[in-house]
Amino acid sequence: MEHQKLTEFPNDFLWGSASAAYQVEGAWQEDGKGESIWDRFVRIPGKTFKGTNGDLAVDHYHRFKEDIALMKEQGLKAYRFSVAWTRIFPNGRGKINQAGLDFYQELIDELIKNDIEPIVTLYHWDLPQALQEEYAGWESRQIIEDFTHYAETLFNAFRGKVHYWVSLNEQNIFTSLGYLLAAHPPGVTNPKRMYQVNHIANLANAAVINKFHELAMPGKIGPSFAYTPNYPINSDPKNILAAENAEDLLAHYWLDVYMWGKYPVAAMNFLEEHGWAPKIEEGDVELLESAKPDFLGINYYQTSTNAFNPFDGVGAGKMNTTGKKGSSEETGVPGMYKKVENPFVERTNWDWEIDPEGLRIALRRITSRYRTPVLITENGLGEYDQLTPEKKIHDDYRITYLSNHVKAIKEAISDGANVLGYCTWSYTDLLSWLNGYQKRYGFVYVDQDETQKGSLNRYKKDSYYWYQQLIKENGTNL
């Protein structure tokens, strides 16, 4: 749809940027923090790129004031970060660790002092190791109570200060990578367990959203979903059906539950046929249907193009975690779909497809299907950056990527989508879970690499100034 004139961004649009505790904080054993499943997992040889870990990360724990000063100077309106559960409850539950809570109080106060809206993610994958050991973490229904109690603690602590809350970050990724691909902790490859864990995570998500509303918290809460819209490779009906299969099994399987409390029909039948469907107990459906997110958080990076995949076709393939273009393998679910290369789009060095139009398509689909406000909680380009001898970073490729995506949002708003804000991934460079430090996303370059011995000095990239200007103009000159 062409528009004569695009709708302008609203004046209160949240121009933001994001991070996650494990990827930036460091200080992994400081001030009473407990061990998380990531603290443990990164120590298993071969699991992360060159054995990198977040022990020090980019030392945001000690440098948050410096980082916030840079945000202020840039004019950032919102900063999304996550709370490390293990700083609040070192063993997942029990006695509060006041020093951990104090750290986030200070961080939030500093943001507010600088007119930056804090957006708090309750769970960005760093589950307390103690809960993993005690009852296998997300595999037990006990986590519903413990997660809700942890969330309630934060609700009470930051009531009135924090107005935007993200319940779970990318449940689709942490369950799939944790329990299907063994690429994340706890390193399992078992579809039955994965779909069971996912069901329990759905219940925990719903319980926390209900708790937020019960407490009449001032503000909004919603989950963040990693949405990769699916396309068919061409108009062969077999391929169209493959794309429908992928959309049902990889997107509706989460989004329908968040928004309607219902699993999609075809995907659920597929799981039942394979004996992988979750066990749904009495009361579960009521709980899922009762929880109403105030917005949907969307993490958008790319689209996926699909083709027919027979029963004896391709299954899970290798991901590109090296940054060598073309090193990822074909992947799919036999009998459902396989992911193929889209000939119309470019790819990053990590083989992620660059498709700004796909963000507009994502927003359009979500708007029509769910009629919900959307907060874009992540979008960005992971690339190699070069620090010049003059300490500059000329990341024009990132500026192109981001500005094309912002334009797509503006078009989607003109189409009728209700978008609350846009958080780029990421604010500073940070640790990529599986890709070390060489895959950089930030506006702010951090001198840190796989040796983990960098100076940790911060340098503004060209994209930092580009975003500063964009915010100043509220996205009018795209």
Q: Which stretch binds ligand BGP (CB under 6 A): 40-48, 126-134, 150-158, 166-174?
A: 166-174
Token representation of residue 468: 């500063």
Token representation of residue 354: 């660059």
Residue in the structure block whose two tokens are 């509220």: 474
Which one among 63, 398, 439, 460 touches ligand BGP, defined by CB under 6 A?
439
Q: What angle do CA 111, 395, 426 make, to 5 degrees?
A: 30
* C-alpha of 91 from chain center: 24
CB atoms inside a 10 Å sphere around CB 402: 22
Q: Which stretch binds ligand BGP (CB under 6 A): 9-17, 40-48, 179-187, 434-442?
A: 434-442
Tell me: cis bond preceding 229? Omega within 30 of 0 counts. no
Which one among 15, 17, 20, 438 touches ligand BGP, defined by CB under 6 A?
20
What is the DSSP secondary-structure string of 324-339? Answer: -TT-PPPEEETTTEEE
* C-alpha of 463 from chain center: 21
Cα-based distances in Å from 380 to 300, 326, 405, 442, 463: 8, 20, 9, 8, 11
| 67 contacts 444 by C-beta, under 8 angstroms | yes
Q: Per 3-state DSSP, what percentage of the chain is helix, strand, and coil (rounded to 5)?
A: 40, 15, 45
Token representation of residue 149: 């109690």
Per DSSP, 294 falls in state S
Judged by beta carbon, residue 9 or residue 422, the one nearer ligand BGP is 422
Cα-based distances in Å from 157 to 153, 162, 182, 285, 319: 6, 10, 35, 31, 40
Judged by beta carbon, residue 293 or residue 442, the one nearer ligand BGP is 442
Q: Give counts: helices (H), strands (E), the chain.
A: 16, 16
Interaction between residue 432 and ligand BGP (CB under 6 A):
yes
Q: How far is the CB of 171 from ligand BGP (least distance, A)?
A: 11
Q: Which stretch binds ligand BGP (CB under 6 A): 73-81, 328-336, 405-413, 428-436?
A: 428-436
Interaction between residue 170 and ligand BGP (CB under 6 A):
yes
Q: How far is the CB of 425 from ligand BGP (least distance, A)?
A: 5
Token representation of residue 442: 């930030």
Q: Which of residues 204-263 bind ligand BGP (CB under 6 A)?
A: 226
Q: Which of residues 441-470 bind ligand BGP (CB under 6 A)?
A: none
Residue in the structure block whose two tokens are 């790319």: 302
Q: Which of residues 355-374 bind ligand BGP (CB under 6 A)?
A: none
Question: Which residues does residue 79 pair with via DSSP β-bridges, in sequence order?
Answer: 17, 118
Judged by beta carbon, residue 299 or residue 304, the one nearer ligand BGP is 299
Q: How far is the CB of 226 from ligand BGP (least distance, A)?
A: 5
Q: Which stretch binds ligand BGP (CB under 6 A): 57-65, 396-404, 425-433, 461-469?
A: 425-433
Going by C-alpha positions, the residue among 475, 327, 321 that lies closest to residue 412 is: 475
Q: How far is the CB of 397 from ligand BGP (least distance, A)?
A: 15
Judged by beta carbon, residue 129 or residue 435, the one nearer ligand BGP is 435
378 tagged catalytic: yes
Q: Which stretch binds ligand BGP (CB under 6 A): 102-110, 148-156, 165-173, 389-397?
A: 165-173
Judged by beta carbon, residue 183 or residue 233, the one nearer ligand BGP is 183
Interaction between residue 382 and ligand BGP (CB under 6 A):
yes
Which one among 132, 167, 169, 196 touches ligand BGP, defined by CB under 6 A?
169
Q: How far is the CB of 2 from ligand BGP (least distance, A)?
A: 32
Which one among 103, 225, 425, 464 touches ligand BGP, defined by CB under 6 A?
425
| Count, residues near ligand BGP per rule CB under 6 A | 15
Judged by beta carbon, residue 23 or residue 175, the one nearer ligand BGP is 23
Rounded Cα–Cα distance for residues 318 and 320 (Å) = 7
Which one among 41, 123, 195, 433 touches ligand BGP, defined by CB under 6 A?
433
Rounded Cα–Cα distance for residues 372 and 379 (Å) = 19
Closest-CB residue for ligand BGP? 432
Interaction between residue 435 and ligand BGP (CB under 6 A):
yes
Beta pairing, strands 296-299 & 374-378 = parallel
- Residue 185, amino acid: P
Per DSSP, 100 falls in state H
Q: Which of 110, 247, 353, 378 is catalytic?
A: 378
Among all residues, which ones are annotated catalytic? 378
Return residues touching ligand BGP (CB under 6 A).
20, 23, 169-170, 173, 226, 299, 378, 382, 425, 432-435, 439
